[in-house]
A and B are shown apart, each in its own frame.
Chain A
Amino acid sequence: MEEPSLYTVKAVFILDNDGNRLLSKYYDPELYPSMKEQKNFELNVFNKTHKADNEIAFLEGMTIVYKSSIDLFFYVVGSAQENELMLMAVLNCLFESVSQMLRKNVEKRTLLDNMDGVFLVVDEIIDGGVILESDPQQVIEKVNYRVRDCVEEQISLCNELTVFVSCV
C-alpha cells in the first residue's frame, strides 16, 4: 500500500494543438528525469488524447486527466492509485483560473501573451506536487495579475485625492 502523502500531482503540462510544450512541470524527480523522456511522454499522451475529449486516460502506468480549449490542451498527471477526482479538482482549478485571467479567451495566442501570469497561476495551484490551492477565485486573488493597471489608477486617484484634500 502506498504511503499516505500530500504529493498528489506527478506532472502538469499545457500543449498546443501540434503537441508542442508551452508549459510543463514535473514534480516527481523519478518520473521521466530527462527532457527527452518528458517530451516523449507528452507526445505519447497527446497522440492518445487529442482526438476525443474524453477527460481521463490511463497511459504508461499514469492516470491523466485533461481538458482542451480551441488550440490548447491542459493535462494533470497522477499515479495509478491516485484519487481521480483530486486530479480533476486540480485540472479544473488550473483551467478556470487561466480562463478567468484571460477573460475566457483560452487560446494559444492570448495564453502566450500572458505567459507570466500562467506561470504564476501554476505556481499558486501546485507546489512541488502538493495541491496548494484548489479554488480558482483564491488563485486569481493571490496572483493578482490583471489588477496591475488598476493599482496604478488607484495610486494616481489617491494622489489626486490628497491634492484635493490639501487644497480644501
Chain B
Amino acid sequence: MIKKFDKKDEESGSGSNPFQHLEKSAVLQEARIFNETPINPRRCLHILTKIIYLLNQGEHFGTTEATEAFFAMTRLFQSNDQTLRRMCYLTIKEMANISEDVIIVTSSLTKDMTGKEDVYRGPAIRALCRITDTTMLQAIERYMKQAIVDKVPSVSSSALVSSLHMVKMSFDVVKRWVNEAQEAASSDNIMVQYHALGLLYHLRKNDRLAVTKMLNKFTKSGLKSPFAYCMMIRIASKLLEETEGGHDSPLFDFIESCLRNKHEMVVYEAASAIVHMPNCTARELAPAVSVLQLFCSSPKAALRYAAVRTLNKVAMKHPSAVTACNLDLENLITDSNRSIATLAITTLLKTGSESSVDRLMKQISSFVSEISDEFKVVVVQAISALCQKYPRKHSVMMNFLSNMLRDDGGFEYKRAIVDCIISIIEENPESKETGLAHLCEFIEDCEHTVLATKILHLLGKEGPRTPTPSKYIRFIFNRVVLESEAVRAAAVSALAKFGAQNDDLLPSVLVLMKRCMMDSDDEVRDRATFYMNVLQQKQKALNAAYIFNGLSVSVPGLEKSLHQYTLEPSEKPFDMKTVPLATAPITEQKTEIAPVATSKLPEKLAPSRQDIYQEQLAAIPEFKGLGPLFKSSEPVQLTEAETEYVVRCIKHTFANHMIFQFDCTNTLNDQLLQRVLVQMEPSEAYEVLNYVPAPSLPYSQPSSCYSLVRLPEDDPTAVSCTFSCTMKYLVRDCDPNTGEPDDDGYDDEYVLEDLEVTVADHIQKVLKPNFGAAWDEIGDDNEKEETFALATVRTLDEAVNNIISFLGMQPCERSDKVPENKNSHVLFLAGVFRGGHDVLVRARLALADGVTMQVTVRSTDENVVDVILASVG
C-alpha cells in the first residue's frame, strides 16, 4: 500500500496530499500488520498517522472497528521506538471516546508514567488521565501526587494540567493534592509555575479568603512566568470587582505595578484590566492609556490591534483620556490590517473634534465593504455615539447609515444600523422624517422579522404625529399584504394608531382594518377585530387606553395572577390592579452601546429583579396575604463602607404594608452572629408588626432579615417617615482559622443610619408612550395645580433631575432631556400610586433667578393628587 501511495505522489507532483485519497477500510486493513512480529516501527507509525489524520478529518469510526484497531495498537507498546510510542499515546487520546474498553492500556501507561524514560512520562500521564474516571483516579492518586512535585518540568506540568482537566469530574480527589500543587508553584520552571497557579486557583476559587492569601503570597514571592502574571492580574481584578474594593487596595497597586513588567503580554493584560474596571477615574486610567499609546506604534500587528481595541473601549466612557493618543491613532487609519484601521477611525470619531468628522467618514466609506460584519457594527456604534455628541452632524450620518442599510450584511449589523437611526430620530426631531423614510424603504425588503416589527412599532408611534401621516400608510399596508404573521400583526397595530390619532385618515384605516379581519392568521384577525371595534367608538379615552398606551403590567406577574385566578373560582371579575407593574420600562431608554461580540447570545426574557423579590418574599410565611409586591426600591446603604458589619436596606412596598429587607454582611472573621434583626423606631404613625430575624450570619456570607410595617390607614397623605434603626444580635466568638464558634455568646447591638421612606417609595414608574392621550384619558376631575419657586436650583437640567428622582416617576416623551440654550421646559411624568391609581404630572419650568415651577397633577384618586402636591411643597 505504502509503495502505491508513494508512486502516485511522485506522479502528481510535490504539492499533492499523500493522505488525500485515504480509504478508512483500507487503512484499517493495513492496521493488521500491528500484529506482525517483529514490529516494523516505520510502517506502523505511518498507519497510526493515517488513522489520526482520518479522525481529524471527521471520518466516522464505528465502535467495533475502532475497538479492533485500538486493541491492535496496544501491541505496539512492545516496541521501544520513541515516536511510535508517542503516537500510541495520541491514538489513545483520540480514540478514548470512540473505542470500548480503553482502560485496557492503564497498566502500560502507569508503567510509562513512573518509568525511567523522561520523554514518555509526561505524555503518558496526559493519556492516562484522559481515560481515567473518578474511581480509577484514586488508584493512581499516589503516582499523581509524586508526578506533580517531580523535578522534571514536563512531568510536573503534565500532571498539573491533567489534574486541572479532572477538577470538573473529580473535585474531591484533586482537592487533596493542594499541598503538592503548592510545592510545584515554587518551581523554577515558568510553565510549572503557571500550571500550578491555575490549578490552585480552580481548587480555591470559591473561598475568597484563600484566593486573597494565595495572591498575596505570589505577588510578594514574584513569579517569573509572564503567563502566570496574566493569570494573577485576572484573579486580582476579579477579586476587586467582587469585593467592590477601592482603587487604593493593594490589589490595584499590584495590577498597576504590572504596567512596568518587562513582558508586553503582562503590560497589556494589566492595562486592559484597568481599562475594564468600573468607576476608574481619568487619573487612574492615564498610565494604562500611555502604555497602550506606545503599543500603537509597534511593528507587531497583534499588539497594535490589541492596543487600539482597548483604547476604543476607553473612548466609549472617557473620550478625553484618549485624546492624547489622537496622533498615534491618525497614523493607524491607513493600516493595512483593516480591523486596526476601523478601530482607529471609530476611536478618533469618539475623541476627535467636530471638524474631523467629515474627513474620517470619507476614509471609512473607502473600505467599509472590505471589513467583516463585526467591525461594521463597531463603525455603526461609533456613528451612534457621534450623533449624540454632535447633533448637527445628523444629516451626514443619516446619509451614511442609509447607504449601509442598503448593503449586504447579517442581522446584528442591520440591527445596529436600525437602532442607530432610531436613536437619531429620537434625539433630533428635525431628522425624524428623513429617518422614517429610510426605514420605510428598508422594510420594503427586509428579511429580519424582529427588525420589521420594531420599525413598524416605531412608525405607529411617530408616524401619526408627522405633518403628512398619510404617506406611511402605504408602506405599512404593503407589509400586511406581503409578510409573515408576526410582521402582519405589527402592521395592524401600527395602522390602528394612525386611525386613532388622525380623524381624516380614520375612514381609510377602517377600510384597511376590515380587510385585515379576513387574514389567514388568528392573531392578525384578533388584533384587527379589536382595533376595528375600539376605533369605531371614536372615544379619545378608549383610544388612549387601548391603542396608544398598552398594558404596563409585568408579563410574568400577569401570567401568575391569571393562573391564581383560575385556581380559585370566584364571582368577582379579574382585577388588573392586583397585577404587579412592569419595572424599569426599557423601551424608551437609550440602547446601550454594547462592546464588540458580547451580543452573540440571543436576548432572553429574564425575570425582572422585582419578580425575583416577589418570589423570595412569598416564600416567607410571616408575609402571607399582603397582596402583590408593588415596588422594590434600590438598595440604601445603612453603614459606612469598611465597617465591622455592612447593612443595606431594600424597601418593598405593598398595597397597605411595607417590608424592609436588610442585607447584612459580617466582615469579622472571629465572630459568628445569630438571631440578627434590625429594630426600627418610626417617627410617624407607622406600625412595626413583625420582625423576621436572620438565624445566623457567619463571616462574609451575606444573609437577610426583614421587618414588616403597616402603613397608616387613616391618613393616606402620610407618605414619608423616618426610621431609626438598630441591629440586634447574639455574638459568638470563633476561631478565625477554622470558623469554630465558642459555646456561649452574648447579646450586642449596633446603631445603623436612619432610614427614610419618601413619596417615591409609593409610586411605580410607568411609561406612557403617548402622554397627551393618557392626560386626556384621566381627565381633569381631580386636577390640581400649584406654583413653586425653587430658589436653590440654578439650571433646568438640575431641576428636572431633582423632580424625577424625588417623585420616582417615569419621564415620558423624552421630556427629561432639556434642549440646550432654552429657558423654559415642560416635563411630563407618569406613574402608578400604591393601590393602583394612575397619576400624571406636568411640570412647566421657567428659568429666571432660580427656577419657577408650575406643577399640574392629574390622577384617578383625589388623595393622590394631594399627596404629590404636599410632598413637592
Contacts and interface: CB of A to CB of B under 8 A. Distances in A.
A116 B227 contact: no
Nearest to A130: B161
A55 B301 contact: yes
A71 interface: yes
A151 B302 CA distance: 40
Given A4-B231, A116-B49, A120-B87, A85 B337 contact: no
Interface in B515-568: none
B52 interface: yes
A142 B122 contact: yes
Nearest to B52: A119
A39 interface: yes
B339 interface: yes
Contacts of A144: 82-83, 119
B397 interface: no
Contacts of B82: 144, 148, 151
A96 to B, nearest CB: 15
Contact of A54 (B15, B48, B81, B301): B301
Interface in B1-53: 14-19, 45-46, 48-49, 52-53
B738 interface: no
Interface residues of B, number: 71
A39 B45 contact: no
A102 interface: no
Interface stretch (B191-199, B430-438, B793-801): B191-199
Main secondary structure of the interface of B (DSSP, over half): helix
Contact of A130 (B81, B87, B198): B198
Interface in B117-164: 119, 122-123, 126, 154, 157-158, 161-162, 164
Contacts of A84: 268, 302-303, 305-306
Contacts of A48: 372
Given A4-B231, A130-B164, A119 B87 contact: yes
A167 interface: no
B265 interface: yes
A109 interface: yes
A142 to B, nearest CB: 6
Interface string A53-65: 0111111110001
B15 A108 contact: yes
Interface residues of A, number: 60
A43 interface: no
B712 to A, nearest CB: 45
B312 to A, nearest CB: 12
B241 interface: yes
Nearest to A133: B191
B372 A4 contact: no
Contact of A83 (B52, B56, B191, B268): B268
A123 B338 CA distance: 33
A88 B302 CA distance: 7
Contacts of B303: 84-85
B301 A56 contact: yes
A109 B56 contact: no
A6 B14 contact: no
A150 B58 CA distance: 35
Nearest to B598: A80
Contacts of B202: 5
Contacts of A5: 198, 202
A61 B17 contact: no
Interface in B276-324: 276, 300-303, 305-306
Given A108-B15, A148-B82, A116 B87 contact: yes
Contacts of A22: 17
A160 to B, nearest CB: 20
B208 interface: no
Interface in A62-113: 65, 71, 80, 83-89, 108-109, 112-113
A19 to B, nearest CB: 13
A59 B57 contact: no
A132 B234 contact: no
A65 B52 contact: no
Contacts of A85: 264-265, 268, 302-303, 306
Contacts of A83: 230, 265, 268-269, 272, 306
Contacts of A52: 336-337
B237 interface: yes
B87 A58 contact: no
Which among A23, A83, A87, A151 has the highest number of chain B CB atoms within 10 Å?
A83
B209 interface: no
Interface string A116-155: 1101100100011011111000100011110010010000
Nearest to B57: A21
Contact of A56 (B154, B268, B302): B302
Interface string B737-768: 00000000000000000000000000000000
A16 interface: yes
A157 interface: no
B867 interface: no
B600 A61 contact: yes
B584 interface: no
A128 B129 CA distance: 12
B718 interface: no
B191 A65 contact: no
B374 A61 contact: yes
Interface in B40-90: 45-46, 48-49, 52-53, 56-58, 81-83, 86-87, 90
B375 interface: yes
Given A52-B336, A85-B265, A86-B265, A112 B19 contact: yes
Contacts of A143: 86
Contacts of A134: 191, 227
B58 A86 contact: no
A60 to B, nearest CB: 8
Contacts of A163: none
A74 B201 CA distance: 32
A156 to B, nearest CB: 15
B596 interface: yes
Given A5-B202, A56-B301, A86-B265, A120 B83 contact: yes
B514 to A, nearest CB: 47
A128 to B, nearest CB: 5
B231 A132 contact: no
A25 B276 CA distance: 31
A165 interface: no
B161 A54 contact: no
A142 B119 contact: yes
B576 interface: no
B596 A80 contact: yes
Given A84-B306, A145-B83, A1 B300 contact: no
Contacts of A86: 227, 230, 265
B200 to A, nearest CB: 11
A128 B198 CA distance: 14
B393 interface: no
A151 B85 CA distance: 15
Contact of B337 (A56, A142, A151): A56
A20 B58 CA distance: 13
Contact of A4 (B158, B194, B234): B234
Contacts of B389: none
A144 B86 CA distance: 10
Given A6-B164, A116-B49, A89 B265 contact: yes
B176 interface: no
B86 A23 contact: no
B238 interface: yes
A132 B126 CA distance: 11
Nearest 6 CB-CB pairings of A with B: A4-B234, A35-B58, A6-B198, A55-B301, A80-B597, A85-B265
14 contacts: A16-B17, A35-B58, A54-B337, A56-B302, A56-B339, A80-B597, A85-B268, A115-B53, A116-B52, A123-B93, A130-B195, A132-B158, A133-B157, A142-B119
Given A127-B165, A143-B86, 9 more contacts: A25-B56, A83-B265, A85-B302, A89-B227, A115-B49, A115-B53, A127-B162, A131-B227, A132-B157
